[in-house]
Structure 1
Amino acid sequence: MKYKIAAAAVLSATLTTAAQAQSSVTLYGLIDAGFTYVRGGANTWQVKSGTVNGSRWGLRGSEDLGGGLKAIFTLENGFSIANGTAGQSGRMFGRQAFVGLASDQYGAVTIGRQYDSVVDYLAPLSITGSQYGGTIAAHPFDNDNLNNSVRFNNTVKYTSVNYAGFKFGATYSFSNSTQFANNRAYSFGASYAWSGLTVAAGYLQLNNDITSTVFGNSGPSSSASGAQTGEWTFLAGRQRTFGGGLSYAFGPVVAGVVYTQTNLSDALGGGISSGQSGASGGIAFRANSARFQNFEGNVRYALSPAISFAGAYTYTRTDLGGGVNPIYNTVSAQADYALSKRTDVYLQGNLQHVSRNSGHVSAYLNGLSADSNTQKQGTVTIGMRHRF
């Protein structure tokens, strides 16, 4: 009898261990906080949350279904460490919220609130889409969404497996209304990595009915059912964004270039998403169309496992209509010191100057308040990040 009881106990423990190995749930997060000095118009000191990476916490899980197939999910909340409020228009899981199936052979299909393909594939090659530049280093107004100012609801996403360094994917974000072609978005992108070389490209299109109460003159309603709700960058019936980039790593140095272009039609105006905590400002269009072209060069250098330096310059050409074509010159630089694998401190500087400016367009560094009285704006930030 004793041997039978012992055997049963061993079998029970084995089955419990196997069940635990087949499924997992992980709590994770990142907190980014710092002091920022802003110069340009009114000079201010500010406590900022998410200067480089947005503060967040989330749950990520998977369940092994057998045959190389598993169920996956992610729920991710964004928040301000400065005052504890939720980001992304007050959503509980505003950064990401999706569930789906992933196959070791065929890739993954997920449904929910997700990033577009430009963010997934092209943004990591830019300084704003990495841990070396972040929010303030975004291209003016985050016009190409590389800093994911807008995330998309009602989204079906396909993500391929890695084919010897080649990956691709696509998204479609439903309007969830009878106006199928309006208040929707779609994107696709790809990347290839070989040795030290990485190349990537992406395309994003947004279709919105700017005459409806869903979108309207003040941006998409937070109570609407469309692909965008409560978050917006430009008030336009159609936005097309595309771009490509490459980077190359040689020893401790990684250098890259990125080009993006955003074209707007049926445009009413431009501004800053209400989902960007603490940001305010805007830009006026002189016609019902506008264009932004961004040329970025960036470099990163790992002096040691604990110390790194990074910098970028972005030349942004615009056409706002009516002969107003300002040029934005944006420089970003960062020095980072890792106190441990999970905690680091950084010093970051950003500077933007608007030239060829017949329309007297104001400088605007992403995530800060624009000042109508200056064509130059700069910041210095001392910050700390902790990952868990």
Structure 2
Amino acid sequence: MKRSGLTVVGCAAFFAAAQAHAQSTVTLYGIVDLGLQYANSAQTSRVGGVPQGASQFALTDAHATGLSGSRWGLRGAEDLGGGWKAIFVIENGFLANSGTLAQGGAEFGRQSWVGLSSPWGTVTAGRQYDPLVNYVQPFAASGNFAGYMGSHPDDLDNLTNTNRINNSVKFESASYAGFKASALYSLGGVAGNATQNQIWGLGAGYTGGAFAAGVGYLNARDPNVSFYGNTPNKGTATANNLGSAGSATTPEANPVYAGYASAKTLQIIGGGASYTLGAATIALVGTNVRFDSMGSSSSPNPLGYSGDAVFTSVDLNGRYFLTPSLQLGAGVDYTHRNSVKGDEGAKYIQLNLGVDYSLSKRTDLYTVTVLQRAMGRDSLGQPAVASIAGFSPSSTDKQVGVRLGLRHKF
């Protein structure tokens, strides 16, 4: 009888453990995206202050220019009952062509968060996407067929998620009649100054039948540190984390906005909408980016900027499924910056073209072509050079980038 009692207790414990295990899930997932790319002009050096360049062929990970940066991640959920779940995601980005870490050397630089979901919404905390990306990116060419290289110049409005948000708490509502909303706050963590290095954002979206729309807002204080400087390879407030003016042996980086590191506040507002009719979808996106109160922080300001630099971008794009496996995409975007320190401002016109062919549900071949023209003067105080996102900037006002990629999802 004693042995039988122990057996019953053991079986009960086993089935209880099995039931608890059945209520928890952990999923391993990922993407590998590699491609050949060509640029007609890529900077190699500076001679007498003038950028020098040459054409370039390279094998690169999609992190820089393609549709989906290579990654692997773990996604988990535990059912707590009553519609509540404990959830987490840790997601690593890597460069498949070299095996090194992406996102500035952060081990889980794409995402790393934990949270609780309920019937009313989800609260998460960690390194996350901001609401502007969640609600506006899906309408941009870069979020559909053109990938990172199809971003607005140097991804100045972050719609392609170049920068994630550290130390953040985020709430996203459940969907109500097609409407959703989200709010995020990132703690600066500076003793005695609650607002230094803080970031906050808002977003909302609607999906109903053939029509969808979304809006978002992001506000980052001391952005050189809080927004652009939040990965292991970045420097302190005394380093320029936005980009570089280059040297006699190195190219520039992000010349569209690299000169504005001394801004006290970065503000980005954006909105987008799309309409689908059969196999075709047309979308429109607009963003406004402000580097406010330049010269008021301790970050580098070698050109002595003051006041505000304001960029306005408009992106019109469309895609069409010629067959269920073959997608065609095309789009044009225009970016304008105001006059700063008496310069003539800057303008960028970009054409995006893409073709994506699915070999299976998990594997596709694609090609993207981007043509960009720059006018005026850029943030480095030089005649504006073309700068397709993910490529080394051109040495001239024109740049053509082409990528042929193979992507596999698992």
Q: Same fold (TM over 0.5)?
A: yes
Q: How far apart, in 1, do the equivalents of 2:174 and 2:203 lie?
A: 14
State the SS of the aligned residue for 1:121. helix
Q: 1:203 matched to which residue of 2?
A: 217
Residue-by-residue CA offset, 1:51-85 (whole Å, 9 max, x unaligned)? 22111110000000011101000000111111111
Are 2:224 and 2:240, in contact at CA under 8 Å, matched by a contact in 1?
Answer: no
Whether 2:118 is the aligned partner of 1:98: answer no
Q: 1:15 to 1:143 in 2, by over 3 A?
A: same
Instruction: Select the residue among 284, 288, 307 that pairs with 2:326.
Output: 307
Query: Residues 128 and 209 of structure 1: is their aligned pair in 2 closer, same or farther, counting only changes over 3 Å?
Result: closer
Q: What code does the residue aligned with 2:363 have?
A: T
Residue matched to 1:61? 76
* Cα distance change on mapping 1:211 and 1:56 into 2, 3 Å: closer
Deviates more, 1:231-240 or 1:90-99: 231-240
Which whole-Å CA distance do the structure 2 matches of 1:377 and 1:137 have between them?
Answer: 13
Counterparts in 2 of 1:209 and 1:314: CA distance versus 1, 3 Å: closer
Matched residues in 2 for 1:80 and 1:66: separation? Answer: 40
User: Contact 2:152–2:313 (CA<8 Å) still a contact in 1?
Assistant: yes
1:85 aligned partner: 100
TM-superposed CA distance for 1:286, in Å, is 5.5
**Residues 286 and 320, structure 1, Cα contact 8 Å, conserved in 2:** no
Q: For 2:203, which of 172, 189, 192 is the aligned residue? A: 189
- Aligned residues: percent identity? 37
Give the aligned residue type for 2:38.
Answer: Y
- Measured in 1, the distance between the counterparts of 2:18 and 2:281 equals 43
CA contact 1:79–1:85 (8 Å) conserved in 2: yes
1:267 to 294, 318, 339: 294
Other-structure match for 2:266: 239
Question: Are 2:406 and 1:384 equivalent residues in the alignment?
Answer: yes
Tell me which of 165, 183, 194 is aligned to 1:170: 183
Structure 2 portions without partners, runs of 5+: 42-52, 227-234, 243-253, 297-301
Task: Classify the secondary structure of the residue corresponding to 1:93.
Answer: coil
Q: 1:249 aligns with which of 276, 281, 284?
A: 276
Deviation at 1:129, TM superposition (A): 2.5
Q: Do residues 145 (structure 1) and 164 (structure 2) align?
A: no
Structure 1: how far apart are the matches of 2:224 and 2:389? 24
Aligned position for 2:247: none
SS at match of 1:147: coil
Q: C-alpha separation between the residues in 2 aligned to 1:217 and 1:90?
A: 17
Shift of 1:343: 0.4
Match of 1:369 among 392, 397, 400: 392
The residue identity in structure 2 corresponding to 1:219 is N
What TM-score do you get using the length of structure 2 for normalisation?
A: 0.82
Q: 3-state SS of the aligned residue for 1:42? A: strand
Instruction: Give the paired residue count.
Output: 362
Question: Does residue 215 of structure 1 match 2:240?
Answer: no
Q: Distance in 1 between matches of 2:183 and 2:125?
A: 12
1:113 to partner: Cα distance: 0.5
Q: Give the counterpart of 1:120 among 127, 134, 139.
A: 134
Cα distance 1:6–1:301, how it changes in 2: closer, same or farther (>3 A)? farther
Contact 1:25 1:60 in 2 (8 A): yes
